[in-house]
Chains A and B, each alone.
Chain A
Amino acid sequence: MDYLSKKYLRSRKIPSTACSGCGLGLNHKAVVQAVYELGLEVEDVVWGTSIGCAGRQTFGTWKGDGFAGTHGRVYAIARGLRLTLPPEKKIILTVGDGDAFGIGLLHLIHASRCNADMTIIVNDNLGYMSTGGQYGWTTPHGSKTDSSPYGMYEHNLMSDGMDVLGVLKHAGATFLARHVAMDGQRAVESIKKGIQNRGLSLIHMVFPCPTNFGSRELGTRDTVKIYEWIENQAAPLGQEKENTVWATGVYFDASNSRPEFSESIRKNVETIRRTAAL
């Protein structure tokens, strides 16, 4: 990541304060790699983050302008910002699963509804890991966490045939993909497509947490074990096995098919300003 970090990231934030073995860095690198491969410069991107592991570890890493919203509300802040930034500026958000699919789901649905141009990377460590490890809205059924000592038995957004990406598809998001942290270049390609979509793109990226998830679910902080556990349950779309939880690849691509939020608002405002017509 050296050449990438020199170009795009602040030295003050390297190395990150993540736990040893944390997979978040893989996701973070995939995003920066995608930005690099698209030929974007530091000034082309405003980077927003949420709170929790994903938000805190990525906040202030981007050399350019950055912000961190309150828990779950970064989609609303980014929508307001979108209306005031030039259309060529990209907004990239690195957030966590609790932020996007729990407390912030309403705002995420409404950002999808209006197809606001932003690329959201949901870094999913399968629950609330920065608070010590409680189950969340994508925690696989039966998983042991500090708040599900008997195994997680609540319905959630990835159980019983549910898929949170389906919710967002029907809410109006125009690019949706899913990956696991170990997907490497495949994930980079999806993120690139997401950034190129002028509309709301979301890439759901599961990453391993050995410290709080691995230790409770697998009984060990052994990094390799949790990486294997996730990798075994992930398969490319169309090649799913019986135990596949995360089918990876592009889930839905309607890139540039719907008017973008800020563009449409600006166009309408301009017409009204010119004609003052009711």
Chain B
Amino acid sequence: MKRYLETGNFAITEGAILAGCRFFAGYPITPATELAEAMSYRLPQMGGIYIQGEDECAALHLCIGAALGGYKAMTATSGPGYILYADPYGWAIGCEIPLMILNSGRVGPVSGITGAPGQGEFYLTRYPTQGGNFETIVLAPNSAQEAMAIVVEAFYLSERFRTPVTVLADQLITDGFEDISVPENEGEMEEMGFRKWPRKINRGPEFYPATDEIDIPPVVLGHNTGALCSDWTPTEEGYDIEEVAAHHKHAYRLIYKIRNHRDLFNTLYEKTFMDDDPDLVVVSYGTPSRVVNTAVKKARQMGMKVGALRLINLWPFPDEHFTRKTKYLSVELNWDGQLVREVQRAAPKDSKINFLGTCGDLPTIPDLIEAFTKILRGQSLERRGWELEGW
């Protein structure tokens, strides 16, 4: 194990290389640029390939090309680049291409504030492309060290599920300097719980079987397997077909291969002070969860029966955590309230659901303690100037 004081971008790069990633195509964008830079330095040393795309759309298409050639590939961006993935993301979902996509959230919409954290792509990562009829896997770490582990896990899941996996981080995770331990060999990787899955080659002739099975090797070109992949509705052999029944078979696979095997990743969450059915459950993901955890500990010392639920597996949304009727508070890095909508949907009907949103900066511990106190007294949260949205 080697220890570093380094950024999340560094940790993610090392994680990707440990996972077997040997191809990176990206486009410079704050705050994911240093990740591309680190890749341009590290990948050639490992015999891997780094290239820059003419835009993000091209970058993800380049990754698709490399993945079709049998490489484990990834790209990284922020919100304004992530929306340009819409086109290739859909293709990769449809053709079941394993990829790892990192999104480091900043303040939107559009270019917004480049060097500050935001969580505006909660829903965008669920629907990164048009058309529907698919399910996506999204994981959200809350530190540089965890980002490394989650990136390895994302590569692992992408191979087993044959689908792109998005890792949703934010500017504080990718740009922030933290204490990072990097495993130096397979043994240390295992010790840290890192799982790896090798790229296998699908030899056909059924390239797109209409089942929810996982662990089917992806389509790889260049081995003369007669593999076909396209943006059209595929038959099981990969031919294009205009037929609703065939499309439903394909869509069934895209939806249920993920929904029916959630046990492979729905264990990714963290619960703090949740064993005694707290009166208020504070829900968050990513960097804000670190402040939430501290605030919840403090509130407990003050006698408040508060618990924290941190989601790592964001999509498919883990409804199972919201079966209990109680008070909920969603703490997010946006002012419009995104995660809170899913909590509203998943929680029992008459639960009291609150929202506290900051953007560009984290909520403070006093902010959170004040919010907990109000909610537990049965009061509603209010908007506080330009700093804070609450309801």
A and B part of one assembly: yes
Residues of A bordering B, CB below 8 Å: 12-13, 42-43, 46, 49, 51, 56, 59-60, 63-71, 73, 76-86, 89, 106-107, 109-110, 265, 268-270, 272-273, 276
B68 touches A70 (CB 8 A): no
Contacts of B230 in A (CB 8 A): 49, 59-60, 67-68
Q: List 28 A-B contacts (CB under 8 A).
A: A56-B232, A56-B240, A59-B230, A59-B240, A60-B228, A64-B224, A64-B226, A65-B228, A66-B229, A67-B229, A68-B230, A70-B87, A70-B90, A73-B88, A76-B58, A76-B65, A80-B67, A81-B68, A81-B69, A83-B23, A83-B49, A83-B66, A84-B71, A110-B53, A110-B58, A269-B43, A273-B45, A273-B47
| Complexed CA–CA distance, A59 and B76 (Å) | 31
A110 touches B49 (CB 8 A): no
Contacts of A107 in B (CB 8 A): 54, 58, 61
B51 touches A265 (CB 8 A): yes
Given the known interface contacts A68-B230, A110-B58, A265-B49, the answer about A80 and B66 at a Cβ–Cβ threshold of 8 Å is yes
A81 touches B91 (CB 8 A): no
B62 touches A80 (CB 8 A): yes
A73 touches B68 (CB 8 A): no
| Complexed CA–CA distance, A86 and B69 (Å) | 10
Residue of A12, A65, A71, A78 with most partner-chain B CB within 10 A: A65
Q: B66-94 interface mask toward A, CB cutoff 8 Å, 1 = contact, 0 = none?
A: 11111101000000000000011011000
- Closest B residue, CB atoms, query A78: B65
B57 touches A73 (CB 8 A): yes
| Complexed CA–CA distance, A183 and B46 (Å) | 49
- B222 interface hit (Cβ, 8 Å): yes
Q: How many A-B residue pairs have CB under 8 A?
A: 139
| Complexed CA–CA distance, A13 and B95 (Å) | 20
A272 touches B45 (CB 8 A): yes
Given the known interface contacts A67-B221, A80-B65, the answer about A268 and B44 at a Cβ–Cβ threshold of 8 Å is yes
Contacts of A13 in B (CB 8 A): 239
B231 touches A110 (CB 8 A): no
B44 touches A81 (CB 8 A): no
Contacts of A81 in B (CB 8 A): 65-66, 68-69, 221-222
Q: How close is A11's CB to chain B, nearest CB, in angstroms?
A: 12
Contacts of A12 in B (CB 8 A): 239
Contacts of B240 in A (CB 8 A): 56, 59-60, 68
B61 touches A80 (CB 8 A): yes
- Closest B residue, CB atoms, query A83: B49
| Complexed CA–CA distance, A56 and B240 (Å) | 8
- B238 interface hit (Cβ, 8 Å): yes
B222 touches A85 (CB 8 A): yes
Contacts of A60 in B (CB 8 A): 228, 230, 238-240
B44 touches A84 (CB 8 A): no
Given the known interface contacts A83-B49, A276-B45, the answer about A67 and B226 at a Cβ–Cβ threshold of 8 Å is no
- Closest B residue, CB atoms, query A73: B61
Given the known interface contacts A51-B231, A65-B223, the answer about A85 and B69 at a Cβ–Cβ threshold of 8 Å is yes
